[in-house]
């Protein structure tokens, strides 16, 4: 997980600014109604290039645009301008041998109930150790994932994380690394900040967005990696009981990458996870440039490395 950091720079108002200057007014709709949409984008350190590569930048840009559209947030930046903005900040902050995590957020900075809305793109960017996640214990919460007509989960809006925060706190209290939420039909939706994949009889299965899930970009990558590895991949609803007796389970997302689950509630999963291990191995080999696979869309940011850009 990202520890609290205070990097030297952020991006706001169309340029890179010192961290202390990246502020939003207390009267903005971003604060009073929590009106913002965001993305998380991972930058992988590449030893061979002495540079960073951003994963699935284009897919994140288009999901951000869709989230903004649904939330009536005007956002007219082009993909190349967005790439430039992320690259500018990442180049200022990257340090040798560490990954980055960027959080582009569109905030409603002016306007009232959608009238006269002015939105701005802010980007924060944090350092991350280069390491694969450990094995996870996850619980199932009694809180429910809202349906599409209650709070659409397919977009990445701040509102969707209000419940996730409550559930994550519950998980910590109960001794779990993360928690799963069920939808109103009692089927698996997703975890607080990641999607879920399960392996059953050699098939990789994940719930579709209509089950109450974010349209995960990592799941799309996993789907393409499965194609490269000749593994069957399927999107279909997953019952709670089916998950509890699955062969393998993992949480997956930009920040989580592929975190193998060893326990769901009181149920221990089998010790070996050959299918998910194979997918994760290919994922990491691609991220570090050891294997090339179009399943992973990586954008080099170029530029020089700053060793002292972070204050934790
Ligand atoms: N679901 C939720 C609720 C999330 O916060 C995330 C992380 N963005 C995911 C799923 C995984 O999405 P992605 O693979 O696009 O990061």
132 Cβ contact partners less than 8 Å away, ≥ 6 residues apart? 257, 258, 280, 284
* Tens-digit pLDDT string for the chain (312 aa): 556 899 999 999 999 999 999 999 999 999 999 999 999 999 999 988 889 999 999 999 999 999 999 999 999 999 999 999 999 999 999 998 899 999 999 999 999 999 999 999 999 999 998 777 789 999 999 999 999 999 999 999 999 999 999 999 999 999 999 999 999 999 999 999 999 999 999 999 999 999 999 999 999 999 999 999 999 999 999 999 999 999 999 999 999 999 999 999 999 999 999 999 999 999 999 999 999 999 999 999 986 555 554 444
**What distance in Å separates the CA atoms of residue 260 and residue 256, rounded to the nearest whole number?**
10
- Ramachandran area for residue 150 (φ above 0: left; ψ -120 to 50: alpha; else beta): alpha
* Nearest CA among 118, 115, 94, 129 for reference residue 309: 94
The answer to whether the CB of 89 falls within 8 A of the CB of 17 is no
Is any ligand 1 atom within 6 A of the Cβ of residue 218?
yes
pLDDT for 130 equals: 77
Q: Whose CA is nearest to atom 4 of ligand 1?
A: 193
How many Cβ atoms sit within 10 Å of the Cβ of residue 49? 11
- Of ligand 1's atoms, which has the minimum distance to the CA of residue 63? 15
**What six digits make up the tokens of 243?**
């998950």
**What six digits make up the tokens of 271?**
């010790």
Is any ligand 1 atom within 6 A of the Cβ of residue 194?
yes
Torsion angle of alpha carbons 61, 195, 256, 44, nearest 10°?
Answer: -30
Is any ligand 1 atom within 6 A of the Cβ of residue 193?
yes
pLDDT for 269 equals: 98
pLDDT for 131 equals: 75
- Of ligand 1's atoms, which has the minimum distance to the CA of residue 190? 1
3-state secondary structure of 159: coil
Is any ligand 1 atom within 6 A of the Cβ of residue 253?
yes
Is any ligand 1 atom within 6 A of the Cβ of residue 214?
yes
* Nearest CA among 30, 105, 35, 120 for reference residue 74: 120
- Of ligand 1's atoms, which has the minimum distance to the CA of residue 218? 14
**What six digits make up the tokens of 31?**
């604060």
Residue 127 CA, chain-centre distance (Å), reads 15
Is any ligand 1 atom within 6 A of the Cβ of residue 206?
no
**What six digits make up the tokens of 59?**
């897919």
**What distance in Å separates the CA atoms of residue 92 and residue 16, rounded to the nearest whole number?**
9
């Amino acid at each position: 997980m990202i520890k609290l950091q205070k990097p030297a720079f952020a991006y706001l108002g169309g340029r890179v600014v010192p961290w202390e200057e990246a502020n939003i007014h207390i009267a903005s709709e971003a604060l009073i109604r929590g009106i913002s949409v965001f993305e998380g984008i991972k930058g992988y350190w590449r030893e061979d290039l002495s540079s960073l590569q951003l994963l699935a930048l284009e897919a994140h840009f288009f999901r951000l645009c869709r989230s903004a559209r649904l939330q009536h947030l005007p956002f007219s930046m082009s993909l190349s301008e967005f790439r430039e903005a992320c690259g500018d900040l990442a180049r200022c902050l990257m340090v040798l041998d560490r990954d980055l995590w960027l959080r582009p957020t569109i905030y409603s900075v002016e306007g009232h109930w959608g009238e006269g809305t002015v939105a701005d793109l802010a980007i924060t960017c944090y350092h991350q150790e280069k390491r694969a996640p450990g094995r996870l214990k996850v619980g199932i919460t009694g809180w429910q994932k809202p349906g599409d007509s209650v709070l659409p989960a397919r977009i990445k809006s701040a509102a969707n994380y209000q419940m996730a925060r409550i559930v994550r706190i519950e998980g910590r209290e109960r001794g779990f690394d993360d928690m799963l939420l069920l939808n109103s039909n009692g089927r698996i939706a997703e975890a607080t900040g990641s999607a879920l994949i399960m392996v059953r009889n050699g098939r990789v299965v994940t719930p579709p967005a209509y089950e109450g899930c974010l349209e995960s970009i990592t799941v799309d990558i996993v789907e393409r990696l499965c194609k490269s590895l000749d593994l069957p991949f399927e999107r279909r609803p997953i019952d709670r009981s089916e998950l509890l007796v699955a062969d393998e389970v993992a949480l997956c997302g930009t920040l989580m990458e592929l975190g193998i689950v060893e326990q769901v509630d009181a149920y221990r999963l089998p010790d070996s996870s050959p299918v998910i291990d194979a997918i994760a191995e290919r994922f990491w080999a691609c991220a570090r440039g050891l294997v090339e696979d179009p399943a992973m869309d990586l954008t080099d940011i170029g530029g020089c490395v700053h060793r002292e850009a972070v204050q934790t």
